[in-house]
Amino acid sequence: MKHLDRISSLFWLFFSIYIFFESIHVGIGRLQKPQAGFIAFGGSILLGILSVVLFLQTFFRKEQADTSGFSIPLWGRVLVMLISLVVYVILFEKLGYLIDTFLLMIFLLSSLKEMRWGWILASSFLITFLSYYMFTKGLGCQFPYGLFGL
Amino acid sequence: MGFLDNIILGFQVCLSPTNFLFCLIGVTLGTLVGVLPGIGPMGCIAILFPATFKMEATTGIIMMAGIWYGAMYGGSTTSILVNIPGEAASVVTCLDGYQMARQGRAGPALGIAAMGSFIAGTLSVVGLMCVAQPLATLALRFGPPEYLAVMCAGVVIVTYLARGSTLKALMMAAVGIILANTGLDLITGLPRFTFGFEELTDGIKLASIVMGLFGISEVFINLETAFKTDIYKTKYSNLWPSLRDWADSIWAILRGTAIGFGLGSLPGVGPITSSFVSYAVEKKVSKHPERFGKGAIEGVAGPESANNAATGGNLISLIALGIPSNALLALLYSSLIVHGIQPSPLFIKGHPDIFWGLIASMYLGNVLLVVLNLPLIAIWVKVLKIPYHILFPLILLFCIIGVYSLDSSTFDLHIMLIFGVLGYLMRKFGYEAAPLVLTFVLTPQLEAHLRRSLTISDGSFAIFFTRPIAAGVLSFALFLLLSNFSPYLRKGRKKHQAFADEEDG
């Protein structure tokens, strides 16, 4: 965990430095008359100090064997899911809700376990149309039509 | 209006066809997510949060509250039958509930869990009804410094009770403050921290954050583990506990109710802590503590009552002070804000239909839950068998639809995915999302109260230490923060963390 804490504390430290300068740019005002960047300025100082404390702690802290971390095969599964979701969002307005969601469901349902294609296609079709019907008719949501006006 | 008139008004509101339907939907969904490991009430409320924007405020809050306390009922089913808590607050129920199931007493275990939950849930609503109004009257004397102090104390308690490091929880609170500053400035109306994105002028949407942090990241984490549920084959036909079971459990139920409601009314303390404290108390007061862990019915009755009573207690600070005490209540708070209703001490007076409608719906919901959980137990056991590879595409789809339906914006979907990845990494790196969400929701109010306080005091921070209530509350918060550095006081916190670790394990 020490190693992970060092990485994350540095990330938050750089983030806080960025916000610190950005809030000065926005304007922090005076104590009598705080301005738009005042709270973010305070938040960035707090985050910066805490990040430094966490970073320093990693050098003085005693710790048992590291049990956390990322397992590459499982981490890969998450990455594949994430990529599929990013692609889905990018194509959302181009393909339209029905086609895009149908393709996503096929991918997701077939990704974790081997199942019969007939079952996957039927389930994807059902999920897509039921969700479309439920949210457009029931809750008045509007989805993009996209390709073929679907 | 008298007390009876208010109750009648409440029932008139909650028995309207729409509100009744959504109360039923809420408690059913709550039971469902309570039963299903891999999705909790927070994830479910996050997914349905945007849908509440299209409902009446009362309907939305009745449904969201129903999901919350419904999950407390449902969580016990998996704990007893599968030894897997469907919901974090039911972790401790596994200890004796599962042992009872192994001894062929799953029926009485499920029965006492449901009846204890019903009694505790109902009594906590009575408590909420009695405490909220006087507290709201007292809170009318609060000025900006007092509000700021109470909010700061709430955030400190949430970080203090964080499962992992307090330091990291505080860091997340700071991140929440920073993120909440995106968009137009409340006073000048100028855009800030938009980084050139026009879509950020309205700020980052809470729905994108919570769905990412709780919905998407939960799926990512679960994809790393293979869910396998082996239901212990046992009879659960005779669900009504025997007279002996009742005699053994009734005091545990009442003690659990008092503990849950009392602890739940403190900001930041929720059903999880209450159930563990109740279990510890039952073991302590029992004449036969050696029975605990081996199928003692008090070990099921106490914690299950405590976690239900805590939901009523938790609502006090939101309704009486207008301050959400945890991330889940922050969603309820935001749902009201979206409808133009500001939770504050004036809330009960200004919106009696919502307050009393909610109270009455909780009575009704508790009755519905007993009906749903006892005779229909066989259905919930079947639900347990739904494999995760079928469940997770549905969760992802609901997250996507929920966020997109708010503004028909794919930008919000990208933000949700970013927070999904952030939430996944935060869990891996040992950071909690709850303090981030809580400060994100509270910051606009916090900022307004801070600015007002400093304007009143002409820029002097002494205003927070010269007014007795503000000074008292801030001193308490400071004491809690500093207690992390005291070895003696840290012992108490370690105990809480041990509970939480057990829960994770």
Q: According to the model, what pLDDT value does residue A62 have?
A: 72
Interface A:B, Cβ pairs < 8 A: 159
Instruction: Give just the sign of the alpha carbon dihedral B49, B269, B370, B373.
Output: positive
Q: According to the model, what pLDDT value does residue B501 have?
A: 47
Chain A touched by B414 (CB under 8 Å): yes
- Give the chain A residue nearest B180 (alpha carbons): A40
Query: Hunting for tokens 């104590």 — which residue is that?
Result: A31
Cβ–Cβ gap A85/B388 under 8 Å: no
Cβ–Cβ gap B178/A44 under 8 Å: yes
pLDDT band at A73 (very low <50, low <70, confident <90, very high): low
Q: Do B306 and B259 contact (CB within 8 A), yes or no?
A: yes
Q: Report domain extents, chain B.
A: 3-504
Under DSSP, the state recorded for A114 is: -
SS3 of B48-87: the string is: HHHHHCCCCHHHHHHHHHHHHHHHHHHHHHHHHHHCCCCC
Q: B296-328: b or e for each residue (b if 16 or more CB lie within 10 Å)?
A: bbbbbbbbbbbbbbbbbbbbbbbbbbbbbbbbb
- Give the chain A residue nearest B167 (alpha carbons): A50
**Cα torsion at B167, B171, B174, B178 (round to 10°)?**
170
pLDDT of residue A150 exceeding 70, the answer is no
pLDDT per residue rounded down to tens, chain B (505 residues): 677 888 888 899 999 999 999 999 999 988 888 877 667 777 788 777 777 887 888 999 999 989 888 887 777 887 788 776 666 677 788 888 888 888 888 888 888 988 898 899 889 888 888 888 888 887 777 888 888 888 888 788 777 766 678 889 899 999 999 999 898 887 777 788 888 888 888 888 888 888 888 888 888 888 876 555 555 566 666 777 888 888 889 999 999 999 999 888 876 667 877 888 888 888 888 888 888 888 899 999 999 999 888 888 888 888 887 878 777 888 888 888 888 888 878 888 888 888 889 888 988 988 898 888 777 877 877 777 777 788 888 888 888 887 887 778 889 999 999 999 999 999 888 898 888 988 888 888 888 888 888 888 888 888 888 888 889 888 988 887 787 666 555 555 555 555 444 444 3
CA dist list (Å): B46 to B41, B86, B90, B132, B471: 8, 17, 21, 26, 35
Contacts of B485 (CB under 8 A, 6+ apart): none
Lowest average pLDDT, out of A7-11, A20-24, B40-44, B468-472, goes to B40-44
* Cα B156 → chain centroid: 17
**What string of DSSP letters covers B364-410?**
HHHHHHHHHHTTTHHHHHHHTT--HHHHHHHHHHHHHHHHHHHHS-H
Q: Which of residues 205-224 of B touch A (CB under 8 A)?
A: 216, 219-220, 223-224
Helix (H, G, I), strand (E, B) or coil at B344: coil
Helix (H, G, I), strand (E, B) or coil at A34: strand
Query: Hunting for tokens 């960035």 — which residue is that?
Result: A44
Q: Do B110 and B234 contact (CB within 8 A), yes or no?
A: no
Cβ atoms within 10 Å, residue B11: 17
* Average pLDDT over chain A, rounded to an integer: 85
How many whole angstroms separate alpha carbon B201 and alpha carbon B323? 26
* Cα B214 → chain centroid: 13
Query: Hunting for tokens 């996944």 — which residue is that?
Result: B424
Average pLDDT over residues A35-42: 88
User: Which residue intervals of chain A are DSSP H helices?
Assistant: 2-26, 38-60, 72-95, 97-111, 117-133
Cβ–Cβ gap A39/B443 under 8 Å: yes
Q: Report domain extents, chain A.
A: 2-60, 72-149
Q: Do A49 and A81 contact (CB within 8 A), yes or no?
A: no
Give one word for B296, left, alpha or beta, with left for phi > 0 and alpha for psi -120 to 50. Answer: beta
Cβ–Cβ gap A105/B220 under 8 Å: no
Under DSSP, the state recorded for B213 is: I
User: Which residue intervals of B15-165 are DSSP H helices?
Assistant: 17-35, 41-52, 57-82, 93-102, 106-139, 144-160
* Between A84 and B280, residue with greater pLDDT: A84
pLDDT band at A63 (very low <50, low <70, confident <90, very high): low
How many whole angstroms separate alpha carbon B188 and alpha carbon B181? 13
Task: Give the tokens for residue B461.
Answer: 């921070």
Helix (H, G, I), strand (E, B) or coil at B500: helix
How many whole angstroms separate alpha carbon B33 and alpha carbon B72? 10
* pLDDT tens-digit map of A122-147: 999 999 999 888 878 766 778 888 77
Write out chain A residues lying below 8 Å of B450, CB-based.
Answer: 34, 39
Query: Hunting for tokens 């509250």 — which residue is that?
Result: B65
Q: Which amino acid is located at B220 in the chain? A: F
Q: According to the model, what pLDDT value does residue B101 have?
A: 84
Output phi, psi for A29, to 5 deg: 70, -160
How many whole angstroms separate alpha carbon B176 and alpha carbon B435? 7
Beta bridge partners of B192: B183
pTM of the full predicted structure? Answer: 0.78
Q: According to the model, what pLDDT value does residue B496 have?
A: 53
Q: Return the closest-CA partner of residue B273 out of B89, B452, B415, B401.
A: B89
Task: Give the tokens for residue A37.
Answer: 């960047």
A117/chain B closest Cα distance in angstroms: 14
SS3 of B297-329: the string is: CHHHHHHHHHHHHHHHHHHHHHHHHCCCCCHHH
Cβ–Cβ gap B224/A71 under 8 Å: yes
Q: Return the closest-CA partner of residue A112 out of B223, B395, B399.
A: B223
Q: According to the model, what pLDDT value does residue B426 have?
A: 92
pLDDT of residue A45 exceeding 90, the answer is yes
B447/chain A closest Cα distance in angstroms: 7
